[in-house]
Structure 1
Amino acid sequence: MTVRNVVFPAGRQALYDINRYSPAIKSNGLLFVSGQVGSREDGSPEPDLQAQVRLAFNNLNAILDAAGCTFDDVIDVTVFIVDPQSRFERIWEVVPEFWGQAPHPTVTAVGVTWLYGFDFEIKVIAKLPESDAA
């Protein structure tokens, strides 16, 4: 059995233990990051949509940082949005704060009906630094 090379951000391991999943796994020079939401310290959703998106990106960035990456290393993005027709534009006003300069990563946006009380989730695949690609 292969042992997974798991990356944990500082201070959030209990959240992943309770829900029984890994925040990110390093494999073959890539970092596969689980979906991140805009949860407050107690795990509850941030009620303001744009603040929730910022928290989701901050949680994502904590995992990327723990793996020695930045958002510039992100290759592929998948976002999940509850009711995208009414929320997409407000969410996309926040994205440039974190996205960086072009060329941007690939992106798939998926409309969903439920995200455990959240309105936005983001998961990514990133390229690991050369020194950590093994």
Structure 2
Amino acid sequence: MTQRQAFFPPDRHALYEKHRYSAAVRSGDLLFVSGQVGSRDDGSPEPDFEHQVQRAFANLRAALGSAGCGFDDVLDVTSFHTDPQAQIETVLKVKNQHFPEPPHPAWTAIGTTWIAGFDFEIKVIARVPVTP
């Protein structure tokens, strides 16, 4: 049986404690990163939508980095949007800053009505790089 190993960014934010979940869990050579939202350090939402998306990606970078991964290691992305039609251009603008070159990861975008007070969430699966 493969053992799970939990990872947290060094500046672990309040949501992990409040809702009792791991930022990322490694199993074998795969890293499953929990949904990252545009939260401030205290867990509250960033009010401006573009800044909320940027913070979500920054939180994602930190969660990936805690396990030795980066955006180049991401295989699969799922994003959640409270108003996809109005938000997609902003999301794509920020996404393209982090995934600028092909091959791009697989991506599924889902419209939803509630994300615990947030308007955007992103979760990924990454392959942990092999260290020599």
Q: What TM-score does the superposition give when structure 1 sets the normalisation length?
A: 0.91
Name the residue aligned to 2:19: 19
The question of whether the paired residues in 2 share the 8 Å contact of 1:81 and 1:119 is answered with yes
User: Residues 67-78 of structure 1 correspond to what in structure 2 (within 5 A)?
Assistant: 67-78=67-78
RMSD: 1.7
How far has the Cα of 1:41 moved from its partner? 1.7
The question of whether the paired residues in 2 share the 8 Å contact of 1:37 and 1:122 is answered with yes
How far has the Cα of 1:100 moved from its partner? 3.0
CA–CA separation in structure 1 for the residues paired with 2:103 and 2:94 = 18
The 1:86–1:106 alpha-carbon spacing in structure 2 relative to 1, beyond 3 Å, is same
Name the residue aligned to 2:103: 103
How far has the Cα of 1:131 moved from its partner? 2.9
Query: What residue ranges of structure 1 are gaps of 5+ in the alignment?
Result: none
How far has the Cα of 1:15 moved from its partner? 2.9
Name the residue aligned to 1:60: 60
Name the residue aligned to 1:92: 92
Query: What residue ranges of structure 2 are gaps of 5+ in the alignment?
Result: none
Q: What TM-score does the superposition give when structure 2 sets the normalisation length?
A: 0.93
Identity of aligned residues (%): 57
CA–CA separation in structure 1 for the residues paired with 2:128 and 2:107 = 19
SS of the equivalent of 1:85 reads: helix
CA–CA separation in structure 2 for the residues paired with 1:11 and 1:42 = 11
How far has the Cα of 1:2 moved from its partner? 7.0
Name the residue aligned to 1:118: 118
CA–CA separation in structure 2 for the residues paired with 1:115 and 1:15 = 13
